[in-house]
Amino acid sequence: MSKFLKENIFNIFIFLLLSIQAFMYYYDNRPSSKVFSQKSMSVENFSSIVLGKSGLTKIGSEKLNKIDEDNFFLQGKSYLENNEYKIYGEDISINLNEDISHSKKSVQVINSMGTLDAKGFRNIDSEGKIYFDGVVTFKSHD
Amino acid sequence: MALLPLKVMIKIIFFVFSLFLYSNAYSESTVKAGDSLIWDSENKSYTANGDVEFKNDKFIAFADKMIANYIEENNDEIFTVIELFENVVIEFEEETFKGKYAIYTRDDNIIKLTGDVSIESPTRLLTGNELIADIDNNKRILNSANKDSLVEVLLENNADD
């Protein structure tokens, strides 16, 4: 046995090196779920400007998740600001194609008349309407 | 006591007058809705539904539904016409107006109520079909469809007087 090892140790060493290299090559080229999740795109502390019916709207959030070409999900504390209103809320969904944004979490809206607090909202920008559900309080400026 | 220089006095008077005008032009209003509220920026209105409460420096109003129209003035929005629908109750100082429908116009400070209206004060209760309350001139006009529908009731606490 020892004689066999002495005669073939160099071959065994080469074989092991080649095996390790083949293993590394396989894992480097294998498509992994990790790479896939990065391609779905999520950006932290995001802010950008979109063009809608209300003009330019600045949007921002703790984390932006792109669902598809038209749909975005603003995760965590988020905002939408333009000339007409400032919407501060959480977990806001945006559909750029239909100009709709909505959230079921507490929201505060500030416009040139006052400040509005609600449990959630649905903003249909193409109609110029914002719907607030549940108990709503609107206080005009002093 | 030394008199203030004329220029300083004019500035102070102008400042106080400006504050007075500003406070009258932009008095605070509050709208509360129990079910929903729609802000329609195209038609410049707010529609509130369910246990609605509207409060300004003049009165406090309750109703099932409210539509408040506004205008934009100097980059600010101001309520101009408030419409109240169903179970309307308006509390103004010691008076309470009730009706099925009410419309308030800010320009002339007049509230018009229709549909089984009543006006209750500490001393009397009046009922009719239409009530026009002119807040600035402290006038109340109560109309009725016929002579019998106009009722005046003296309240109990008046009996002691």
Give the residue, A15 or A142, on which the prediction is more confident.
A15
User: Does residue A17 sit in the same domain as residue A72?
Assistant: no
pLDDT < 70: residue spans in chain B:
1-4, 6, 8-27, 147-161
User: Does residue A82 sit in the same domain as residue A53?
Assistant: yes
Please report which confidence band the pLDDT of residue A141 belongs to, taking 50, 70 and 90 as the band edges.
confident
User: CB–CB of B35 and A134 under 8 A?
Assistant: yes
What is the domain extent for residue B152?
28-159
Q: Is residue A36 situated within a structural domain?
A: no
Q: Is residue B7 situated within a structural domain?
A: no
| Number of domains within chain B | 1
Domain harbouring B40, CATH code: 2.60.450.10
What is the domain extent for residue A58?
41-140
pLDDT above 70 coverage of chain B, percent: 74
pLDDT in tens, A124-136: 988 999 999 899 9
Question: Tokens for B32?
Answer: 């509360």
Q: Is residue B139 situated within a structural domain?
A: yes
* pTM strictly above 0.80: no
Residues belonging to chain B: 161
Compare CB distances from B26 to A109, A134, A141 and report the shortest one's residue.
A141
CB A58 within 8 A of CB A49: yes
Question: Tokens for A90?
Answer: 């959480």
Distance (Å, whole) CA B84 – CA B64 = 8
User: CB–CB of A138 and B30 under 8 A?
Assistant: yes
Please report which confidence band the pLDDT of residue A7 belongs to, taking 50, 70 and 90 as the band edges.
confident
Q: Name the residue among A90, A113, A7, A88 with its Cα closest to residue B68.
A: A113
Q: Which residues of B fall within a CB distance of 8 Å from A134?
A: 35-36
Q: Is residue B3 situated within a structural domain?
A: no
Write down the pLDDT at residue B55: 92
Q: ipTM, 2 decimals?
A: 0.74
Write down the pLDDT at residue B21: 44
**How many A-B residue pairs are in contact by the CB < 8 A criterion?**
74
Please report which confidence band the pLDDT of residue A33 belongs to, taking 50, 70 and 90 as the band edges.
very low
pLDDT in tens, B92-109: 999 999 999 999 999 999
